[in-house]
Chain A
């Protein structure tokens, strides 16, 4: 492929790792950022005028269940960490290698290696071989590992390999086959439910084990105040634990389950309103480090079912940016925080040179209008399926141009 001419984006407001957006330009040679700030295009450069829009890092989506390029590109996502819950699971080097190549050149997929063979929770998978094949982290998948001994061995091994372990925090003994959080809503609807404390129990155990093992632990979704308190305290002690969440858990509470809306069936399930607010507080105070889409497009065969029989998950890639920006508009966080949550920290966890605008970083760049209004339409989404609980919601913030490694996307 013929290398493209250098790229200079002018007239934008740059979203830098800290501080308010700064007027300036950015210059890219080949796939890297070479200059930021008061930069003028040089002769022969491709020049893009951002016309006052934000120039921000491309989003790094930590924990998606499908490679869905149109949806990712619509949402400004240039890198996605793929959960091992594929068919077959990402539990061997060959499947990891294949997945790592599957999005290139305009989307980089970072496979998460299955912690156990077949994600069965018992036998450790060949994670070192998978690391060499391109895995950037280990994940337990949609489920937690119930056996504490297995989990401890996994964390020790991961610590040696310097790979973070991405976990799902629900004590399966308590959750069983529950599909909702115990409380008034589940009781009224007669849905199998489990107490929200199942999350705090799992988080407490995994923090204790990670601390013993000296491993880096990333809990992909933390959705309850009690579990967030545990993480806050662990961070204070210096434990290498990070926490993530998806927009559903800061936008919605379990009252959204009324009428058995299967598009609101998630794992972990929606929580009560107090927990929703606790999630927002935790995002604001830095206890939550990552917001991810959890992108999981599901067609009618998985969702047009009785609630308890439906599959969990939402098609979230397109709404990750605008829903995160609601936190900015509400004053919970600033723009720099927002992009740290959806780009900078996930990139750092994966150990990739991306996720922030800085010299030497990969030129994954989104030009976006944070105020531009649009309406989410379940039937017109770019994603493989339109399973969003935000159908017909008005949102603000949309990417107008996206670059992956300096190359225009789409």
Chain B
């Protein structure tokens, strides 16, 4: 895979690199982000999403320096409690916490090794008793992160709960789009056409992105076969279609999702080969989108199924490795903003 191109022509970095979000654009102090935890994009105002994105700019700049270390979270303990297997998200959160100077502890428990039942609450209480300053949670059940957040005293970050939300993924995707198109901080994505194709039904990435991208003003089209399209999805202010070719027409961004076989019981599609036949992003299909359309994928990819290798690696068009880079910055922003109250940052001490 190619490494991301150098960010020299990336105007957004320069604007906000020094100090994060421009205070004159946002409510003062904690009013800019009056939430204790980040459980989802649902419940966030558009300006709160933009605030986090603007805050991420400084970390993006830092991460591109040889010395990638800030000391804002010195002495704080962050626990990554992953009740579901993850490699990239766990690593991304770990790097984000460490680059901010926090002590990061990973608790990787496969769903199989932790019994359900009170154990989940008990685990949360245990983490709480260890006086974590932030807990990052991934869990296989929708709503599990909120359940834990209600039981602990520190901020909780949702790193993916079942089929519900994956808010930091939506933030990193928005940050990636901002930089790909050269949008300025605080600038919405008005009129941008984004097509999300794949297993929408089982995808928390799709849900968070639908909420975030529509809030930012993009026109979102979701595309999936009937069995993988959630009912009533149009109520989330998106267009829904089963026709991939139609969905691609005029798209500025094509976001591909993998089939989440681990969440399927029973047969949802006849075969991977047949899935590719209808929903695989091939060079011929990509030609239906805008000529300069960008390609995204939250990973892990199933090359040759939902996305062809030539597209995944297409220089200048594929943003897939950029997404990974933005992920660290977006997560640093979330961790830094959510711990401001505990760190008694001026204007953030009051109860949010």
Contacts and interface: CB of A to CB of B under 8 A. Distances in A.
- Whether chains A and B associate is yes
Interface of A: 176-177, 182-193, 195, 259-260, 300-301, 304-309
Contacts of A183: 231-232
Given A306-B147, A308-B141, A190 B207 contact: yes
Identify the interface centre among A184, A189, A304, A306: most chain B CB within 10 Å of its CB: A306
Contacts of B204: 190
B176 interface: no
Given A183-B231, A187-B231, 5 more contacts: A186-B231, A191-B162, A306-B161, A307-B143, A308-B143
Nearest to A183: B232
A193 B118 contact: no
20 contacts: A184-B231, A184-B232, A186-B230, A186-B231, A187-B207, A187-B230, A187-B231, A190-B207, A193-B230, A195-B231, A260-B142, A300-B118, A305-B117, A305-B147, A306-B139, A306-B161, A307-B142, A308-B143, A308-B162, A309-B116
B118 A304 contact: yes
Contact residue range for chain B?
20 to 34
Interface string B149-185: 0000000000001111100000000000000000000
Identify the interface centre among B161, B164, B236: most chain A CB within 10 Å of its CB: B164
A83 to B, nearest CB: 23
| Closest CB pairs A-B (n = 7) | A260-B143, A306-B141, A190-B163, A190-B164, A184-B232, A182-B231, A306-B144
Nearest to B235: A184
A187 B164 CA distance: 8
Contacts of B131: none
Contacts of A176: 265-266
A200 to B, nearest CB: 16
B121 interface: yes
A82 to B, nearest CB: 26
Contacts of A309: 116, 141
B70 interface: no
A307 B235 contact: no
B108 interface: no
A191 B142 contact: yes
A260 B266 CA distance: 25
A190 to B, nearest CB: 3
Contacts of A191: 142-143, 162-164
Given A190-B164, A192-B163, A307-B141, A259 B235 contact: no
A309 to B, nearest CB: 5
B314 interface: no
Contact of A188 (B42, B117, B144, B161): B42
B120 interface: yes
Nearest to B203: A190
Contacts of A304: 118, 121, 147
A189 B164 contact: yes
Given A190-B204, A191-B163, A306 B230 contact: no
Identify the interface centre among A183, A192, A301, A309: most chain B CB within 10 Å of its CB: A309
Nearest to A194: B231
Identify the interface centre among B164, B165, B231: most chain A CB within 10 Å of its CB: B231
A305 B116 contact: yes
Contacts of A259: 146
Identify the interface centre among B121, B139, B147, B204: most chain A CB within 10 Å of its CB: B147
Given A183-B232, A184-B232, A308-B141, A190 B116 contact: no
Nearest to B148: A306
A305 B120 contact: yes
B233 interface: yes
A308 B118 CA distance: 14
Nearest to B211: A188
A387 to B, nearest CB: 15
Interface string B38-51: 00001000000000
Contacts of B233: 187
Contacts of B42: 188
Contact of B117 (A177, A189, A190, A301): A301
A306 B142 contact: yes
A218 to B, nearest CB: 30
Interface string B88-126: 000000000000000000000000000011101100000
Contacts of B235: 184, 187-188
Contacts of B147: 260, 304-306
B339 to A, nearest CB: 25
A185 to B, nearest CB: 8
Contacts of B139: 306
Given A176-B266, A307-B143, A187 B116 contact: no
A199 to B, nearest CB: 15
Nearest to B146: A260
A299 B204 CA distance: 30
B238 to A, nearest CB: 11
Nearest to B142: A190
A268 B42 CA distance: 27
A186 B147 CA distance: 17
Contacts of B116: 305, 309
A189 B236 CA distance: 12
Nearest to A187: B230
Contacts of A190: 142, 161-165, 204, 207
Contacts of A192: 163
Nearest to B139: A306
Nearest to B121: A304
A99 to B, nearest CB: 27
Contacts of A187: 207, 230-233, 235-236
Contacts of B162: 190-191, 306, 308
A258 to B, nearest CB: 10
Interface in B202-252: 204, 207, 230-233, 235-236
B123 to A, nearest CB: 12
A168 to B, nearest CB: 20
Nearest to B162: A190
Nearest to B201: A187
A304 B120 CA distance: 9
Contacts of B142: 189-191, 260, 306-308
A188 B141 contact: no
B108 to A, nearest CB: 19
A259 B39 CA distance: 11
Contact of A177 (B144, B146, B230, B265): B265
A193 B162 CA distance: 13
